[in-house]
Structure formats: C-alpha cells, structure tokens
Structure 1
Amino acid sequence: MRDDDVLAAVRALTPALRERVAEAETLRRVPGASVEELEEAGFFRLLRPRAHGGLATGPDVFYAALLEIARACGSTGWAAAVLGVQPWHLALFDPRAQEDVWGTDDTARICSSHAPTGEVATVDGGFRLSGRWHLSAGCDHAGWALLGGLVTDGEGRPVDMRTFLVPRSDYRVDAVWDAVGLRGSGSNDVVVEDAFVPDHRTLGFGPVTALRCPGHEANPEPLYRLPYAAVFTTAISTAMVGIAEGAYDAYVTAVRERLGSSSGQRIAESPFAQVRVARAAGDIDASRLQLSRNTAELYAVARDGREPSTSLRARARRDQVLATERAIAAVDLLMENAGGSPMRGGADILQRAWRDLHTGRGQAANDVERGLLLFGQDALGITVHDPML
C-alpha cells in the first residue's frame, strides 16, 4: 500500500461519509461502517511505524487525507484526527508498549484524553490509575487509551506530567457526549478504576518535548522527530479547516441559484455576497497554506537530522491557532449572509459546520491566546516554558 493509494481510497469514501452524517449525529458517534472503511483504506496506518505494518508517511499525506474526511463529515473528521494521530504518539513509547498494542492485533486503534483529570499513584514497577477522563473522540472504536496524568511526590506536589497507555479491559466508556456540535464524534468519557500501568506503558512530557523518546531508536523514520505540539494540534486544526472548506463549497453551490426572499433576485448577484465569499475563501486558503508551510519545514528539518528551533515551533503553534480562528470566521461570514434557511433544521450543511466549528473551538489545542502568547514571548526574546511547544 502506497501513500497515493490511501489518499485515493479516502477520497472514494467521502460520498458514503456524507450520506452517514445524519446517522452519526443520531448515534452521537461515528458509525462503525465509516471507521471500518477508513481502516480498510489504510488511513489509520499513515502515521504508524513501519515496524508495525504502518506507512510512516510524511505528515502532509495524513493531513491531506484528513481534510478530505472532514470536508465530508465534520464529526468523522474530528474523530479521525484524534484516532489517526495516536499511532504516531505510540511510536514514541517504549517498543514493548508498541508490541503490547500491535503485536497481537494489527488493527488496534487508540483514543486519547490528555487533560490530567485522574489520580496517579506510584507503585513498584509502574503506576496505579483511577478517575474519569473527558472528551475522548472516537473512543467507542478504540481498544486502547492514552490518558494524561500528574505524578506527585510524597507531599502531593506535581513532579511530572505523563501519558499512560491503558487497554480497553482496564477502562469503560461512559456515553455522555450530547453536544450542539460535533455530535457524531463520540467524544465520551473514559473511566478507569484502579488499573495498574507498567512503567513501559508510560511516557513523560519532558522527553516528548525534548525529542528524546524511547521509541526513537526502534522507529528511525523522520516522522517521529517532529514536535508533539505541532503534530497533534495541526491535526485538530486541519479537521476544522476541512469542515470550513466543506461548508464553503456547499454555500457557494447553493447561493449560485438561490433567490433573495425580499428582492427576488439571485443572491449571487449581490456585491455583499460576493465580498463575503471572497473573504471566506481567503481565510480558508490562508489557514491551509500556513499549516502546510509549517508542516513542510518541520518535516524537512527532521529529514536532515536536525532539531526544530523554538522559533519554528512557536510559529507552527501561532499559525495552528490562527487557522482555527480563521476557519470559524469564514463560516461565520457565510452564515451571516445565508438568511434564516440554515437555522430551520439540522440537515443544512452550513449550519452543521457552524455548530461543529464553534464546538471544536473549545478544544485545548485551539486556545488562540495561549498559542499566540508562545510566539510573542519567543519573538520578544523571552524564554518559553510550555509543554505544548
């Protein structure tokens, strides 16, 4: 299977994904058929290491496939972003953890919830984990979970932030997701009750940020020398840009023939509509182009065996949060010019995209102020201390 084969297969799936949009919203999770078709297309292998049957492709291929999915169905794109990026994260872990997941199940998928909302206790050989982790998109379709947690000292003070790899046998999914937007993403809660996690199934944020992970020796591909903060957050923003592109395409197609309710003239002839279309297209293009530029530069640095500068990392985060902001602004512009029709039911593509984008804005990766702050500090010569850089 080649990169081009996967992209072609994903594009061929998009009509079916569009047909299942309403089903996804009704189920409040991605339909099983969609996940299985993405599996068969090879999407979940794009960022998986070659040592475990993956393609370890360039990140641009993964993001291109993700755009196609999100354009067709925002909820499926969001869940695909999260599920699709986790093989990359697991590739940074101890090789024994990778073998635990893929050694006996070639199609094992991994969900995640990185906010440290659970309780962690240090014990011999590892940790004991308990608690509830929220907003784990696509978790119904995963056999493992990556969960964030704070390790504390004897007096309860945080000393380390780690990610814990937990099998489905050690957690349950609580179907609490019932949101206005991204309704079909299945962003449910993961609940763990006193599970033991061995040392080799954990990874600290320090080594990840420093690009010094135990999985690097086993997986020498340059893909795994990219900063976590860029790979994960760009996946989230790419899904949002894809949602905006799908909304833009649907809006332009509809408005070409739609008549204004008060004037009886074609809306397409209105100069105000024309200007809004131009502004929305410009925001979406700017988002996509900046994300692509930063991904290409980061990957080139990794291929050369170099480490990305703090300035490049900060720029990637700056453009990632701005891509989110622009995607939302573009669809807001179109909604303002769409009249009342999109608000009369949930079937309208533009309305759904508007709901999805404003819901996705709440994801921690899309914290615009935090992303811009990192860039501003670096640009002004202030040392940046942030695990999401």
Structure 2
Amino acid sequence: MSQAVLDNVRDLLPGLRERAEETERLRVVPEANIKELEEAGHFKLLQPRRFDGYESDPIDFYTSVRLISSACGSTGWVSSVVGVHPWQVALFADEAQQAVWGEDTNVRLSSSYSPTGKATVVEGGYQLSGKWSFSSGCDHCSWVLLGGLVFDGEGNVVDFKTFMLPRSDYTIVDVWHMVGLAGTGSNDIIVDDVFVPEAFTLSMGQTGQCKGPGQEQNTSDLYKLPFHSIFTNTITTPIIGLAMGAYDEHVEMQQKRTRAAYLGEKASLDPFAAVRIAKASSEIDAAWALLVANIREEQDYVAKGEKIPLKTRLKVRRDQVLGSQRAIDAIDALFEASGGRALANGTYLQRAWRDAHAGRVHAANDPERALQMYGALEFGHKIDPGMY
C-alpha cells in the first residue's frame, strides 16, 4: 500500500508546485493541498492499521515528505510534522486513541513540544495552562500535542509530558509572518487552565525508553523505535527534499542560461559549474543515505528484540543534524551559482533557500548539542537524558 501512496504523491507534485506562491501569500497550506494529501493516503502512513492506517515503514513516510518538499517547502514541512503525529498517538492509552480516531480516522493533530506550559497534578489528571509557539499546520487539525512540565503540590517538577487536547480546549493565535516556511501557518496555541485526563498524557521519560501504553494494542515494531529518532528526522527530511528540488531547478536553469559576462558562454559548458553540481549532489545523497541507513540499523535491533544501543541512537542524531547542514550547504552552493534570475519571485530556488534556512533554526537542528552528546559518549562520559 505504501507504494500506491508514493505513486499518488508523485502525481500531486505539479499542482503543489504551482500553488507554492499561493501557499506563501496565504501564510498557511491551502486546503486543496491538505485534501489531496489526505486522499493520497499520506497522513495515514504511520497510523495504526486498526484505525485504517498503513503502519508503513518510516522510510516510506520520509520518502513521501521528501517528494512533497521538492515541490513546495511549506507543504512538505506540514506534511512531515503533522504526518508523524499518528506515530505518537499510537503510543497513548487506548482511551486517547479512541477519542482521536474512534469516529473519524482522518483526524489530524498539530504539536508544540517545547515545555512552555505548566501542568499541576490533580485527581484523575492535570490542570494545564500555557502558551506554545510554532504549531505548524494547526489550522488543519482538530487536536494538538503539547509539551509541559508537571508540578506537584509543593511546586516541584515531577515529570515532562506530552498532553493531548481537543480543539475545544485551546485557542489558535495567528502570529505567523515569516520570511521562510512562510506558508506553514505555525501559529501560537493558548491553553487556559484546562483539565487533561491521565490517559491523554504520555511521559517523555517513558517514550525515551521506547515504551508507551498504546503498544498493548499497536504491537508493530514501527512503534518500538525511539521517539527522537523518528521525530527529529521529520525536521531534516523536508530540508533534504528542498535541496533535491533546488538541485533539479538549478540544473534546468543552467542548461538554458547564457552568461553575458563570459561572451554568451552557455553556463552548462562551464567546468566549474559541473564541479559545483557534483559536490552538491553528493552532499544531498549523503544526507539521505545516512538517514535511511541509520533508521534501518535501529529497525534491525527492534526486529531482533534487542535494545537499541545508546551509541546508535546518538549516531542517528549526529547524522540527522549534519544531514540538515549538508542539504543547506548544497542549496547555498546552488543558489550562489544560479545567477540573478534565481532571485525572481516565483522561482523554487529562492524559496528553497529561505525555507531551508528557516528549518535550520528548529530545535531539532541544534548541531552542537547533538554532536557533543555523541563525542562525549565516545570519550566515555555519562550522557544525560536528552533528545536521542
């Protein structure tokens, strides 16, 4: 079934690319894009089969995101961060899964995981309040996943959880006016003293151990992979897709371009231009190849019933942040070598340049922290719990 979804997505790419400028003007992915991706099956790739999902290989999901991003960066970003949420919902207690998908298996969720909210322990659950930023695609979703610190009655932090709330329990504030990923509608979420039942929460300590109550119902190996391996690569994959789209447009432009400063020489005959695209393509291929290889390595451990070594998980993060950087470096090199026409409104290249650099500032792409963890482990130092 995954192959059928990928074939469907490929058919959508010309239309997504044609609407890319509209997406930026609207500051939100057009409803037509979301509807087409829904009908293509994209949002169900990581959804449990018992809720009409496909329980696909995560590489199939990333491939779909990569394709979408090669046509429209904002749509690709939203397809990634919204499309990955069914994977986490599958880890919640069955009561929460039924609340989300029991009546409509096409329900979507947005998120904001930074623990900027505060939850207090009360009988049966938590009282949650706060403001969260950067909830991409939230206008197309009827539930939200929010990160929050949990405090006991004495004011001590006792947990860090993800809280799942229906649309009636939060407010969206339109604040998204950005130069990159402008069409993602990554607006603020406000929650004012809402009760969240225990079943609608998930401890990040538990997910850090590759566990969740939903594994009782959803027994696939898909849901035994590390949270941060799956989620951080949803941030890198759109950037790789942007690089692939930029590469294709650059090659096409250079085949048609003549360089006035060099007596009308065809740009494609410039040997330095050939070297640039060779280097850029290698960086893009390396970013993708390492992403795939690392997820495959984790899958092999899960299939054998073995615990994934910490070094492997840190390697995933190492190559994830460097994969983002490799893709951005490729886009930079292509953009710089494309000539003045690449600056024109409507070109994919200038939009990819802006979108990729916007994606670079996401917390998942903080290279120093990810690389420091890997290096510290190699030196034999203790690694504190974090994004791995």
Aligned to 2:159: 160
List per-residue Cα deviations over 1:132-185 (Å, max 9, x = no partner).
Answer: 110011111001000000112344332211000000011121111111110111
CA distance in 2, matches of 1:70, 1:138: 15
2:260 aligns to what SS in structure 1? coil
Q: Structure 1: which 5+ runs fail to align?
A: none
Q: 2:287 is matched by which residue type in structure 1?
A: S
Q: 1:318 is matched by which residue type in structure 2?
A: R
- Pair 1:64 & 2:63 matched: yes
CA distance in 2, matches of 1:276, 1:191: 46
- Pair 1:239 & 2:238 matched: yes
CA distance in 1, matches of 2:122, 2:365: 35
What does 1:298-317 correspond to in 2, within 5 Å? 298-317=298-317
Q: 2:279 is matched by which residue type in structure 1?
A: R
Q: 2:305 is matched by which residue type in structure 1?
A: G
Aligned to 1:173: 172
CA distance in 2, matches of 1:49, 1:385: 32
CA RMSD of aligned residues (A): 1.1
Q: 1:249 is matched by which residue type in structure 2?
A: D
1:119 aligns to what SS in structure 2? strand
What does 1:113-124 correspond to in 2, within 5 Å? 113-124=112-123
CA distance in 2, matches of 1:114, 1:33: 27
Q: In 2, are the aligned partners of 1:117 and 1:133 still within 8 Å (CA)?
A: yes
Aligned to 1:375: 374
List per-residue Cα deviations over 1:298-353 (Å, max 9, x = no partner).
Answer: 1222222222110110110000000000011001111221222222x331111100
- Pair 1:108 & 2:107 matched: yes
- Pair 1:89 & 2:88 matched: yes
1:72 aligns to what SS in structure 2? coil
Aligned to 1:269: 269
Q: In 2, are the aligned partners of 1:206 and 1:387 still within 8 Å (CA)?
A: no
CA distance in 1, matches of 2:338, 2:70: 19
Aligned to 1:283: 283
Q: 2:42 is matched by which residue type in structure 1?
A: F
CA distance in 2, matches of 1:261, 1:375: 49
- TM-score normalized with structure 1 length: 0.97
Q: Structure 2: which 5+ runs fail to align?
A: none
What does 1:1-389 correspond to in 2, within 5 Å? 2-263=1-262, 264-343=264-343, 345-389=344-388
Q: 2:199 is matched by which residue type in structure 1?
A: H
CA distance in 2, matches of 1:51, 1:119: 33
C-alpha deviation, 1:63, in angstroms? 0.9
1:166 aligns to what SS in structure 2? strand
Q: In 2, are the aligned partners of 1:118 and 1:131 still within 8 Å (CA)?
A: yes
Q: In 2, are the aligned partners of 1:28 and 1:186 still within 8 Å (CA)?
A: yes
List per-residue Cα deviations over 1:6-26 (Å, max 9, x = no partner).
Answer: 111111111111111011001
Q: In 1, are the aligned partners of 2:121 and 2:153 still within 8 Å (CA)?
A: no
2:211 aligns to what SS in structure 1? coil
CA distance in 2, matches of 1:51, 1:381: 44
List per-residue Cα deviations over 1:75-134 (Å, max 9, x = no partner).
Answer: 000001100000001111111110110011221001000001122222111111112110
List per-residue Cα deviations over 1:198-257 (Å, max 9, x = no partner).
Answer: 000001111101122111111100000000010001111111100110001000111012
